[in-house]
A and B are shown apart, each in its own frame.
Chain A
Amino acid sequence: MSTSTIDWTADEMMTVASARALAGARTCFVGIGLPSRAANLARLTDNPGLVLIYESGTLGAKPSVLPLSIGDGELADTADSIVSVPEIFNYWLQGGRCDVGFLGAAQVDRFGNLNTTSIARGDGRPDLRLPGAGGAPEIAAHAGKVLIVVRHSDRVFVEKLSFITSVGFGTGTGFRERLGLRGAGPTQVITDLGILEPDPESRELTLVAVHPGVTVDRVREATGWPLKVDGDLATTDAPTERELTTMRELQARTKEVHRART
């Protein structure tokens, strides 16, 4: 991999690492925002055959610009097929047609469980209301495996979730098996600081790679539980020039189009 001499940001590194995690995947059920950006970068770089599936019912969408919403016209116009929402969830997701589910979240715990529902604020203040579940609970359950992309902070990586919206490894070893969940659960959590993977025994998220220039101490400070670090800690390859150029062109096109439509 030829490393770029161009400067890049932590956010760009996160997106590049997320896109790389889709190498070899055939079908990806994509959440909007960071997952969609990464999945489209993967399609435009190393995985041109990647089938993107959005919960609006667009199968095989090939957007030339990033969608703002899960149902932008660009997704419908470039899709192989458009199906109804009951069909996308029943036949295509529950039916086992999605190799990878790609999710974001407001909170993640050490077992990769996700909260997108509400956050307790304490001090007698009402809970902070988040948008809610959307497609995530069933994506987390049924996709062949799940990738999670979030920015790393101790407000996101918390000791205890305020609410479990979508389940990862629950309370640890054996949890998914007891529930009869068919998918493998979260196999990677990719952040702007590094990459976490579940420990094969305990299922607890463990730091397996840091991005270039990031120290383990910095990741630990940004994690709300005592973070375990893999003995073979790796350093992520920096973004290549091709990855950076492709991503920046995609974002420039996106900005231009969304501005032009006003």
Chain B
Amino acid sequence: MAEITNLREAVADLVHDGDVVALEGFTHLIPTLAGHEIIRQRRRDLTLVRMTPDLVYDQMIGMGTARKLVFSWGGNPGVGSLHRFRDAVENGWPAPLEVDEHSHAGMANRYVAGASHLPFAVLRGYEGSGLAAKSETISTVTCPFTGEELAAVAALNPDVTVIHAQRADGDGNVQLWGILGVQKEAVLAAKRVLVTVEEIVDRLDPRPGAIVLPAWVVTAVARVPGGAHPSYATGYSVRDNAFYSEWDTISRDRDTFTAWMTKHVLEAEDATS
């Protein structure tokens, strides 16, 4: 059963140096403050996994948390580049960053394979793309029924998956709704699961389009209101589009970035109750 705990203890218990860690969220419900806690606890050599690494991964990469990034689209949505990600790939600052790069369809299916406890997933994908030749986790497989050659992608099974959700109950059952991305698959593929939530309620009354992740697939739940900012939690907050634009300025320069992170992350208290 899920333990109801606080963010500091949850990260200390569940995220270790060298782990493969997925902080998932497709624009919506991005677990930003959990990422900040990982930075504050000075985790190192993480393999970070995410379909759409955005600001929180830019921050983790820029603070030297990651050794490798597994991803399919690494930009600031609607704004432009992730400058810390680019600096790491192009110039090795603050440390070289290995990448394993996919398409969205490939990444999504890698999580599906992981959640299904299969070694790989099959899709029609990567045809004619240069990506297949660059990645050891993309190959081909021949259909035993039709003889057709199809793309195969290796399963993803993170050591830890971290997601943000709207609510949990006192037993640690987790409810989320709105754009759900690949979070269910990322949770079920992982060895350990940390969920931060906007609130803990007595009872999870039904919501249109909501899914419930039962407490027995979740390792720990921490109450972190606003934990997705500048992303959002449907029903609780709206996306802070202006901050995504501001991040372009903050992150462009190494010193400005470091100063901002020191003030807003390293010297900040964690947001847990």
Seen from chain A, the residues whose Cβ lies within 8 Å of a Cβ on chain B are 32-33, 55-58, 67-73, 75-76, 82, 84-86, 89-90, 93-94, 113, 117, 126-138, 141-142, 163-167, 170, 175, 179-182, 258-259, 261-262
A57 and B101 contact, CB distance less than 8 A: no
CA–CA, A73 and B228, complex, Å: 14
10 smallest CB-CB distances across A and B, nearest first, come from: A71-B27, A167-B128, A131-B75, A69-B77, A68-B78, A262-B242, A134-B73, A89-B105, A126-B90, A86-B108
Among B41-68, those with CB < 8 Å from A are 51-52
* Residues of chain B lying within 8 A (CB to CB) of residue A167: 127-129
Proximity string of chain B (238-257) to chain A, C-beta cutoff 8 Å, 1 when within and 0 when not: 11111010000000000000
Residue tally, chain B, CB below 8 Å to A: 55
Q: Is the CB of A127 within 8 A of B90?
A: yes
Are B102 and A32 within 8 A (Cβ)?
Answer: no
Chain A residues whose C-beta falls within 8 Å of the C-beta of B184 in the assembled complex: 84
A73–B75 CB distance below 8 A: no
Evaluate contact between A72 and B239: CB separation under 8 angstroms.
yes
Bound-state CA distance A32–B241 (Å) is: 14
Closest chain A residue to B130, Cβ basis: A164
Q: Are A141 and B125 in contact (CB under 8 A)?
A: yes
Known: A73-B28, A85-B182, A261-B238. A90 touches B74 (CB 8 A): no
Pick the contact of B112: A72, A86, A259 (CB < 8 A). Answer: A86
A69-B125 contact, Cβ under 8 Å, with A56-B26, A56-B27, A94-B105 = no
Known: A90-B105, A133-B72. A180 touches B86 (CB 8 A): no
- How far is the CB of A116 from the nearest CB of chain B, in Å? 9
A67 and B126 CA atoms in complex are apart in Å by 28
Q: How far is the CA of A168 from the CA of B127 in the complex (A)?
A: 10
Is the CB of B8 closer than 8 A to any CB of chain A? no
* Closest CB in chain B relative to A234 CB, distance in Å: 30
A134 touches B104 (CB 8 A): yes
> A141-B127, A164-B129 are known contacts. Are A86 and B109 too (CB-CB below 8 A)?
yes
- Do A68 and B179 have beta carbons less than 8 Å apart? no
- Report whether B178 and A76 are in contact in the complex, using a CB–CB cutoff of 8 Å: yes
The answer to whether B101 touches A68, judged by C-beta atoms less than 8 angstroms apart, is no
- A33–B72 CB distance below 8 A: no
In the assembled complex, the Cα of A100 lies from the Cα of B36 at a distance in Å of 40
Q: Which A-chain residue is minimally distant from B86 (CB atoms)?
A: A129
Q: Which of B82, B103, B109, B148 contacts A134 (CB 8 A)?
A: B103
Structural contact, B73 and A138, CB atoms closer than 8 A: no
* Beta-carbon contact of B209 and A82 below 8 Å: yes
CB distance from A68 to the nearest CB of B (A): 4
Residue contact A71 to B90, C-beta cutoff 8 Å: no
Which A residue sits closest to B182, measured CB to CB?
A85
Pick the contact of A58: B72, B103, B179 (CB < 8 A).
Answer: B179
What's the least CB distance linking B162 to chain A, in Å?
A: 17
Residue among B126, B241, B244 with max Cβ neighbours from chain A (10 Å): B241
Can you spell out 10 A-B residue pairs with CB atoms less than 8 angstroms apart?
A68-B239, A70-B27, A71-B26, A89-B104, A138-B125, A142-B124, A179-B127, A181-B127, A258-B241, A261-B240
Once the chains are docked, how many angstroms separate the CA of A240 from the CA of B242? 33
A181 to B108, CA, bound (A): 20
Find B232's partner among A73, A82, A165, A166 (CB 8 Å cutoff). A73
Across the interface, which residues of B come within 8 angstroms of A128, CB to CB? 86, 90
Chain A residue at minimal CB-CB distance from B178? A76
B102 touches A133 (CB 8 A): yes
